Amino acid sequence: MARYLISFPSAAMVVPDGELEAVGRAANDVVEEAKAAGVYVFACGINEDVPPALVSADGAVSAGGYPWAPPLNGGFTVLELPSREEAVTWAARIAKACRCSQELRVVA
């Protein structure tokens, strides 16, 4: 079994006015199916209204993330699956629900 990160940046999700609620329900349905299948580990969306903080090893905190890195945003799902083929199948289900392509990565 491997853990797979299925994700998308916020800009990829373009939903027509009045359809965001339906997209949310569809995405939640896929999460519930993953839970029922016993493959769900974690899912979330980054709250873009709250700015990131960069915390150093000595505990110092500065506003913002790494200045050289693109902003981290969007939605993330982690599933534990027996094969890449199953991960692709789940990523496609999430893509259909969210109406945008998903990036797929193995995470440790």
Do the Cβ atoms of 58 and 17 come closer than 8 Å?
Answer: no
Do the Cβ atoms of 99 and 13 come closer than 8 Å?
Answer: yes
pTM to 2 decimals? 0.89
Do the Cβ atoms of 103 and 11 come closer than 8 Å?
Answer: no
Instruction: Give the per-residue pLDDT at 7.
Output: 97
Q: What is the pLDDT of residues 54-87, one digit of tens each?
A: 999 999 999 999 999 998 999 999 999 999 999 9
